[in-house]
Amino acid sequence: MAAGKPSTHASAESSSQAPPWRLPRYLAGCYLLLVVYASLHPFSGWQSPGLSPFVFLEAAWPRYWTGFDLAINIAAYLPLGFLLAPALKTRHGQAFAALQAFMWGTLTSFSIETLQSFLPSRVPSSLDLLCNAIGTGLGAILATWYGATFFASTNNLQRQFLARLPLSEYGLVLTGLWMITQLSPETVLFGSGDLRQLFSIVPPVPYAARSFFAMETGIIICNMLAVGLLIRTLLLPKANAYLAMLGFFLCALFIRTLGAIILIGPQSAFAWLSPGAGLGLMLGGALLLGSQLLPRPARIALAGLALMAGTVLVNITPFNPYSVAALTAWRQGHFLNFNGLTRLTASFWPFLSLPYLILLGRRI
């Protein structure tokens, strides 16, 4: 009997020391891709600089710079260092992982600055490289001090409210990326999967108030169903799904409003609240509540169908004249090419989400 106690204790200990979820790796990889895209957008006009691409290392620091520019370059890479350190953590300890994070972040910045030498719209700078390296280092140091506590708390919250599903961390990242798409004030509310800008496709339907009203309503309904049911799938059965979905969509609307205020102006804060959007929110919310009565396989199938239908609708919906005006106003004061970043995320979000829903459907 006594001999059995140590094994029981050992099993409990090993259970309590189960490896953490891979969320830091997913977040680090996702943020790294976003930084690279934002730094090289719009990926056009490539040409030889005529000089060494490393000449920016020898050039004098820019004559004109502001504290805001320095802060932005440091802040942009601080999350990268904070996420890379736990993602690269090995048996050699946190300090070695932080050093690795600093080296990879600095190498990423150096590579980006070098590639910017081939883009006429970009100006590589050793000052930017230095600020990016500082930001990565600060993030790695913060991860060494607080990263373990932060991600332990995150893991505890995940275990309390989220179901243990295949690639559940990937599902969390998808919901976070969808939130980023709400920063784009010129797109249809909750709309995603628009490939027309990437492939220069002209909408087959000319703009008319009635057709745009109907399609806008349909886009919002389809995306509310797809995103809401995805969130419901991630939650444990005991979790309050209604409250979680309500809070999620209210947060999305807040981000949409805040983005419009900052990027366009206070007068455009609620420009997204059109008649079609109002009707779509009401109908989408009602259908989402009713869909909770369906069994789990049916909910996953409905989420996939709504995702595909919403993607089709957003690609045939005529351009809203307000969208063009909003995009023009945004480009006058954007930084880090948020326009291209949010557009890319919104364009590919359904195509990243559909395989995940298919995987969940096959596992049940």
User: pLDDT tens, 41-54?
Assistant: 777 778 887 778 88
Query: Hey, how many other C-beta atoms are within 10 angstroms of the C-beta on 43?
Result: 11
pLDDT tens by residue, 240-288: 888 989 999 999 999 999 888 877 778 778 888 889 999 999 999 999 9
Beta-bridge partner residues of 162 = 235
d(C-alpha 331, C-alpha 343), whole Å:
13
pLDDT tens by residue, 5-18: 444 343 333 333 33
Instruction: State the pLDDT confidence band at 199, using cuts at 50, 70 and 90.
Output: confident
d(C-alpha 364, C-alpha 134), whole Å:
46
Instruction: State the pLDDT confidence band at 1, using cuts at 50, 70 and 90.
Output: very low
Q: Show Cβ contacts of residue 234 under 8 Å, excluding neighbours closer than 6 positions.
A: 162, 163, 165, 168, 171, 172, 175
Instruction: State the pLDDT confidence band at 332, using cuts at 50, 70 and 90.
Output: very low
Q: What are the distances in angstroms from CA 303 to CA 39, 307, 348, 361? A: 34, 6, 17, 11
Q: What is the pLDDT of residue 330?
A: 54
CA angle 68, 187, 74 (to 5 degrees): 20
CA angle 250, 253, 255 (to 5 degrees): 110
Q: What is the mean pLDDT of the segment spanning 90-102?
A: 83
Q: What is the pLDDT of residue 278?
A: 94
d(C-alpha 340, C-alpha 343), whole Å:
5
pTM above 0.85, yes or no: no
Higher local confidence (pLDDT), 64 or 349: 349
